[in-house]
């Protein structure tokens, strides 16, 4: 099974819902809505079978030096305690906020996207391991997108131990562990958001999708057109 969608809404929600049955929410990374009623409205506006996946709140994954914090409006404890899966009150509060959004959207998949500055150092690995052991839940699939220079054997070890799905851009590397495939397409050759996927790229992408459940999310500027073309290709060959 191949599920296709975009990272965020590249068009208005009403039109998007007509074209797709999946989206990865980006807004939850930058700021959790102040009122849970906002989240409930998102769910009500979408078709019944529409699936939301979401990016975890940046207070969990990114430290306060990240430029993404320019979009964070709320005051949230001590910034020194933000990010990198630190076992702090602020990080676990950020998790509870993320969890509440996921529950109200009926989301089963939560994506933890890490910055390249989150490196495979002893303290980071220890915090990472402790964080996922503490938030372990049967109702969710946790997807981890490491960036930077993480050794594949370490990624596999942590994913296997903590039951995580290794998220990749399949044009750059192969996933090493996970009950599903979760692909995020950032543009070729290396995070080129202006890249428009060619027909041969899309055919190659379809070959990356195996017998598992496959989530394919486009995250380039041409995501709407590329995802529609890929969705059409999937329907043709499946």
Q: What angle do CA 30, 120, 155 make, to 5 degrees?
A: 90
pLDDT at 136: 85
Yes or no: say if 192 and 172 are a contact pair by the CB < 8 Å rule.
no
Residue 238 has pLDDT above 80, yes or no: no
Using the 8-state DSSP alphabet, how is residue 217 labeled? E
Burial of 222 (0-12, 13-18, 19+ CB in 10 A): middle
Residue 127 is part of a domain; what is its CATH number?
A: 3.20.20.410
pLDDT at 120: 96
pLDDT at 212: 92
| Mean pLDDT confidence for 170-190 | 94
pLDDT at 227: 97
Range of the domain at 113: 2-237
pLDDT at 24: 98
Tell which residue, 224, 220, 147, has the closest CA to residue 185. 220
| Mean pLDDT confidence for 217-222 | 96
pLDDT at 138: 85
Residue 43 has pLDDT above 70, yes or no: yes
| Mean pLDDT confidence for 75-84 | 90
User: With bands split at pLDDT 50, 70 and 90, how would you rate the model's confidence at 76?
Assistant: confident
Q: Kindly state the percentage of the chain with pLDDT values over 70.
A: 100
| Mean pLDDT confidence for 113-127 | 96
Q: How many domains does the chain have?
A: 1
The model scores a pTM over 0.85:
yes
| Other C-beta atoms lying within 10 Å of the C-beta of residue 129 | 14
Cross-strand pairs, 4: 216
User: With bands split at pLDDT 50, 70 and 90, how would you rate the model's confidence at 98?
Assistant: very high
Residue 123 has pLDDT above 70, yes or no: yes
Q: Kindly state the percentage of the chain with pLDDT values over 90.
A: 89
| Mean pLDDT confidence for 117-145 | 95
Residue 17 has pLDDT above 80, yes or no: yes
């Amino acid at each position: 099974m191949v599920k296709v969608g975009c990272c965020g809404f590249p068009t208005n929600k009403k039109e998007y819902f007509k074209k797709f049955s999946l989206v990865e929410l980006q807004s939850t990374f930058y700021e959790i809505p102040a009122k849970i009623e906002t989240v409930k409205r998102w769910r009500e506006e979408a078709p019944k079978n529409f699936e939301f996946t979401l990016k975890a709140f940046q207070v969990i994954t990114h430290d306060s030096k990240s430029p993404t914090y320019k979009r964070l409006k709320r005051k949230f404890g001590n910034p020194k305690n933000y990010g990198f899966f630190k076992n702090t009150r602020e990080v676990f509060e950020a998790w509870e906020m993320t969890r509440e959004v996921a529950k109200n959207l009926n989301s089963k998949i939560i994506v933890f996207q890490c910055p390249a500055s989150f490196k495979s150092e002893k303290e980071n690995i220890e915090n990472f391991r402790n964080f996922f052991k503490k938030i372990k839940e049967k109702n969710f699939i946790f997807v981890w997108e490491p960036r930077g220079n993480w050794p594949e054997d370490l990624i596999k070890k942590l994913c296997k131990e903590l039951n995580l799905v290794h998220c990749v851009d399949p044009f750059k590397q192969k996933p090493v562990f996970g009950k599903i495939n979760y692909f995020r397409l950032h543009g070729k050759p290396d995070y080129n958001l202006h890249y428009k996927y060619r027909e041969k790229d899309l055919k190659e992408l379809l070959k990356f999708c195996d017998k598992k459940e496959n989530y394919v999310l486009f995250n380039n500027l041409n995501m709407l057109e590329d995802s529609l073309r890929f969705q059409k290709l999937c329907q043709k060959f499946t």
